[in-house]
């Protein structure tokens, strides 16, 4: 469902490419960790998948769509099939938990009835039932990230992209978020998660793709972080 | 996107940006008031032109005993006067009415006009020439009369009253041009202010818009709240400007000018009201266009 076919990405004013001839296939329903140091190309890969950037050469295919050829006005419809979770949560501070999750449905024009039915369902899935009326500032970091995951998942995306979702959380809270992502993965949703978190990667034993200077240096089923394969 | 959601977002956006929105309303109101004043002045000039041009006449002065003009050998003879009259008649429907004023009549009118002034005592009927006063179907046809009669013996001079008025209208037109120029400058300021306001608003809400983009909101629905905010300010501003224009009519023209200058026709209420839709149109178009341009630049789709 996701294919990188000899993809390179060269940013302007950068001496070397962020991605260099990357070849990769990720199937529907997989759970993939994207690891590597800062500047290794993880973020570039994620940005290419959601069409925040275009590849310099090669093709990126997501959900059978050639992302580079996607017309600008079709991008919104394309993104509705994706869920995105950010390291800094990106919640709206003056909206309640319920409204934050509902926001994802409001802006794509879902009816009030659909929203009333779906949001509590998702809040229960992420373990936030009873906190619908809280503001983000009244929640812990882990709870805020759950709200963000709920918002990303509320439109039932086939692919969930998470960029360092546990980067701002302590280890025990991170475990909770990982369990949540695992639960979402079991519903058939593909999950791609960029991370630095060694403990989490080792614990989950999922597919690991390691990047270094724009190259894939390791692609391993049920891997652990430490096997750098030098 | 549902209307109630858009309305709620609009309300919270306006509240958050209150000072900038207020600045926008005032700026739109001031610039549109100037546009309105310029349009009002234009309507006034048109009305006065219509009013005066209907009354202007062409005066054909005939030679008197003291005339020095080329056509004048002596006092105009009855034969010459008859020929001038025939010449006017021959112009057909261009000439709508002909009125003959003798020296005595001219003197009587002169005495009436300058009653109480010492000048009356120094002027006798002989100093005032006899004349034909001619009304034309169209004041522009003065040239026809001039061409037909300028060389006719017994005609001392031909005077177009419209010429006397044209200088006055030139001043009014100049005023209108000036008001339009100031209004354009103010509109430019408004455009820049709208663009900057939208930019600030877009920056303040980059978190919100990044989330909207991430969940797949269309470009239109991401931009709409910003455009609607600018639009709301424009509508309020245009409303205030309309009140301003109406006040000029009620408190300045009707209350102050009209009683003192009864011989001038002032713009009517319907002409004043006809200006208002233009103010709204100009206000809405400039803000919607400039906010769209600004969003295109500062809100990456």
ipTM of the complex: 0.76
End-to-end CA distance of chain B: 18
Residues of B in contact with A165 (CB under 8 A): none
Number of domains in chain B: 2
Among A72, A77, A111, select the one facing B216 at the smallest CB separation: A77
Single out the residue in B162, B190, B205 at which a domain terminates: B162
Residue A230 pLDDT level (bands cut at 50, 70, 90): very low
Residues 6+ apart with CB under 8 A from B65: B74, B75, B126
Cα B233 vs. chain centroid, distance in angstroms? 27
**C-beta of residue B134 within 8 angstroms of C-beta of residue B145:** yes
**What's the CA gap between B87 and B55, in Å, rounded?**
22
* B283 & B158 share domain: no
Nearest chain B alpha carbon to A50? B214
CA distances (Å), origin B261, targets A166, B258, B264, B270: 81, 5, 6, 20
pLDDT, tens digit (0-9, with 9 covering 90-100), for A174-188: 999 999 999 999 999
> What's the half-sphere exposure (Cβ side, CA atoms, 13 Å) at B210?
14
Q: What letter would DSSP give residue B264?
A: S
Which residues share a beta bridge with A66? A61
Domain A1-81+157-224 is classified in which CATH homologous superfamily? Answer: P-loop containing nucleotide triphosphate hydrolases (3.40.50.300)
Nearest chain A alpha carbon to B224? A107
| Contact status of B119 with chain A (Cβ, < 8 Å) | no
Q: How far is B15 from chain A (nearest CA, A)?
A: 13
3-class SS of residue A203: helix
* B235 & B290 share domain: yes
| Contact status of B204 with chain A (Cβ, < 8 Å) | no
pLDDT, tens digit (0-9, with 9 covering 90-100), for B194-242: 888 888 888 888 888 888 888 888 888 888 888 998 899 999 999 999 9
Nearest chain B alpha carbon to A74? B218
Rounded average pLDDT per 10-residue block, chain B, 301 residues? 76 80 88 88 81 79 79 80 85 84 85 74 79 83 83 83 79 83 85 86 84 83 87 94 94 89 83 94 93 83 48
Among A94, A112, A155, select the one facing B215 at the smallest CB separation: A155
Check residue A228 and give its pLDDT.
52
Q: Does pLDDT of A229 surpass 50? A: no
Q: Which two tokens stand for residue A217?
A: 């240096």
3-class SS of residue A63: coil
Cα A169 vs. chain centroid, distance in angstroms? 16
**What's the CA gap between A224 and A204, in Å, rounded?**
8
* B135 & B238 share domain: no
CA distances (Å), origin B159, targets A164, B24, B49, B133: 91, 53, 18, 10
B275: containing domain:
3-53+166-298
3-class SS of residue B143: helix
| Contact status of A187 with chain B (Cβ, < 8 Å) | no
**C-beta of residue B231 within 8 angstroms of C-beta of residue B23:** no
* B224 & B294 share domain: yes
Nearest chain A alpha carbon to B213? A76
In chain A, which ranges are continuous DSSP H helix?
A: 42-49, 75-79, 97-106, 112-125, 141-153, 171-186, 198-204
Q: How far is A198 from chain B (nearest CA, A)?
A: 27
**Residue of A134, A71, A197, A210 whose CA lies nearest to B219:** A71
Question: What's chain A's length in residues?
Answer: 230
Single out the residue in B129, B162, B195 at which a domain terminates: B162
Averaged pLDDT score across all residues of chain A: 90
Which residues share a beta bridge with A25? A3
**C-beta of residue B9 within 8 angstroms of C-beta of residue B232:** no
| Contact status of B211 with chain A (Cβ, < 8 Å) | yes
**Mean pLDDT of all residues in A199-203:** 87
Q: What letter would DSSP give residue A139?
A: S
> What's the half-sphere exposure (Cβ side, CA atoms, 13 Å) at B191?
13
Which residues share a beta bridge with A191? A31, A160
**C-beta of residue B225 within 8 angstroms of C-beta of residue B9:** yes
**Residue of B68, B216, B25, B53 whose CA lies nearest to B139:** B53
* B173 & B290 share domain: yes
**What's the CA gap between B179 and B274, in Å, rounded?**
18
**C-beta of residue A210 within 8 angstroms of C-beta of residue A217:** yes
**C-beta of residue A202 within 8 angstroms of C-beta of residue A124:** no
Q: What letter would DSSP give residue B64?
A: -
Residues 6+ apart with CB under 8 A from B106: B125, B128, B129, B130, B131
Residues of B in contact with A72 (CB under 8 A): 219, 301
Q: What letter would DSSP give residue B63?
A: P
pLDDT, tens digit (0-9, with 9 covering 90-100), for A140-175: 999 999 999 999 999 999 999 999 999 889 988 999
Residues of A in contact with B301 (CB under 8 A): 72, 75
**What's the CA gap between B194 and B289, in Å, rounded?**
10
Which residues share a beta bridge with B58? B134, B160
| Contact status of A134 with chain B (Cβ, < 8 Å) | no
**Residue of B221, B233, B220 whose CA lies nearest to B286:** B233
Check residue B105 and give its pLDDT.
86
**Residue of B179, B219, B189 whose CA lies nearest to B286:** B189
* B177 & B279 share domain: yes
* B185 & B230 share domain: yes
- What phi and psi values does residue B98 have, to the nearest 5 degrees? -125, 130
Q: Which two tokens stand for residue B127?
A: 């100093």
Give the best-scoring range by mean pLDDT among A24-33, A81-90, B92-101: A24-33
**What's the CA gap between B190 and B243, in Å, rounded?**
19
With CB atoms and an 8 Å threshold, state whether A92 touches B211.
yes
With CB atoms and an 8 Å threshold, state whether B217 touches A76.
yes
List of long-range contacts for B41-46, beta carbons under 8 Å, 24+ apart: B41/B172, B41/B175, B41/B176, B41/B179, B42/B176, B43/B267, B43/B271, B43/B272, B43/B274, B43/B275, B44/B172, B44/B266, B44/B267, B45/B169, B45/B172, B45/B173, B45/B176
With CB atoms and an 8 Å threshold, state whether A79 touches B219.
no
* B206 & B150 share domain: no
Residues of A in contact with B220 (CB under 8 A): none
* B76 & B211 share domain: no
Which CATH number is B116's domain given? 3.30.70.3040
Task: Indicate the helix (H) or strand (E) that contains A216.
Answer: strand A215-220
Check residue B50 and give its pLDDT.
76
Q: How far is A118 from chain B (nearest CA, A)?
A: 16
Q: Which one of A91, A105, A107 makes the best mutation probe of the B interface by having the most chain B beta carbons within 10 Å?
A: A107
Residues 6+ apart with CB under 8 A from A135: A93, A94, A95, A96, A97
* B151 & B170 share domain: no
Among A73, A92, A108, select the one facing B217 at the smallest CB separation: A108
Q: What letter would DSSP give residue B139?
A: G
Look up tokens 């509705």; give the residue: A80
Single out the residue in B130, B162, B194 at which a domain terminates: B162
* B123 & B259 share domain: no
Q: Which two tokens stand for residue B143?
A: 């040239």
Look up tokens 């639009």; give the residue: B231
| Contact status of A72 with chain B (Cβ, < 8 Å) | yes
* B182 & B285 share domain: yes
Delimiting residues of CATH 3.40.50.300 domain(s) in chain A: 1-81+157-224
Residues of A in contact with B5 (CB under 8 A): 106
3-class SS of residue A133: coil
């Amino acid at each position: 469902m996701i294919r990188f076919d000899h993809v390179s990405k060269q940013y302007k004013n950068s001496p070397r490419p962020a991605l260099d001839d990357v070849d990769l296939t990720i199937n529907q329903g997989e759970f993939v960790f994207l690891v590597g140091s800062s500047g290794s190309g993880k973020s570039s890969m994620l940005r290419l998948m959601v069409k925040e950037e275009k590849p310099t050469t090669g093709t990126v295919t997501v959900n059978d769509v050639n992302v580079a050829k996607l017309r600008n006005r079709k991008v919104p419809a394309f993104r509705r099939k994706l869920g995105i979770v950010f390291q800094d949560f990106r919640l709206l501070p003056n909206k309640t938990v319920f409204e934050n999750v509902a926001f994802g449905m409001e802006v794509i024009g879902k009816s009030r009835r659909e929203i009333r039915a779906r949001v509590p369902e998702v809040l229960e899935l992420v373990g936030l039932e009873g906190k619908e009326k809280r503001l983000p500032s009244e929640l812990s970091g882990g709870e805020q990230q759950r709200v963000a995951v709920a918002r990303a998942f509320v439109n039932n995306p086939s692919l969930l992209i998470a960029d360092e979702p546990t980067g701002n959380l302590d280890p025990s809270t991170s475990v909770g978020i990982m369990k949540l992502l695992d639960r979402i993965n079991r519903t058939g949703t593909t999950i791609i998660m960029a991370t630095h978190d060694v403990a989490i990667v080792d614990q989950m034993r999922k597919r690991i793709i390691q990047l270094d200077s724009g190259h894939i240096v390791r692609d391993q089923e049920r891997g652990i972080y430490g096997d750098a394969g030098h | 996107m549902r209307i109630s959601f858009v309305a709620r977002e609009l309300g919270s956006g306006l509240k958050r940006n209150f000072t900038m929105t207020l600045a926008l309303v005032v700026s739109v109101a001031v610039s549109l008031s100037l546009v309105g004043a310029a349009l009002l002045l234009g309507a006034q000039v048109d009305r006065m032109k219509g009013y005066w041009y209907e009354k202007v006449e062409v005066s054909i002065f005939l030679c008197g005993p003291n005339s020095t003009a080329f056509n004048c050998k002596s006092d105009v003879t009855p034969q010459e006067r008859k020929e001038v009259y025939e010449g006017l008649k021959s112009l057909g429907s261009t000439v709508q009415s002909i009125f003959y004023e003798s020296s005595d009549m001219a003197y009587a009118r002169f005495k009436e006009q300058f009653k109480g002034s010492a000048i009356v005592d120094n002027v006798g009927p002989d100093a005032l020439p006899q004349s034909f006063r001619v009304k034309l179907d169209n004041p522009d046809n003065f040239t026809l009369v001039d061409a037909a009669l300028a060389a006719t013996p017994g005609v001392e001079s031909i005077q177009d009253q419209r010429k006397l008025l044209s200088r006055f209208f030139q001043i009014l037109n100049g005023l209108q041009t000036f008001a339009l120029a100031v209004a354009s400058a103010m509109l430019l300021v408004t455009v820049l202010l709208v663009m900057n306001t939208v930019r600030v608003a877009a920056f303040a809400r980059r978190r919100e818009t990044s989330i909207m983009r991430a969940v797949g909101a269309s470009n239109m629905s991401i931009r709409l709240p910003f455009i609607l905010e600018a639009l709301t300010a424009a509508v309020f501003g245009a409303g205030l400007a309309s009140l301003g224009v109406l006040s000029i009519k009620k408190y300045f023209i009707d209350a102050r000018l009209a009683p003192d200058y009864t011989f001038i026709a002032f713009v009517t209420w319907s002409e004043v009201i006809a200006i208002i839709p233009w103010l709204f149109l100009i206000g809405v178009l400039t803000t919607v266009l400039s906010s769209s341009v600004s969003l295109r630049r500062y809100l990456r789709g």
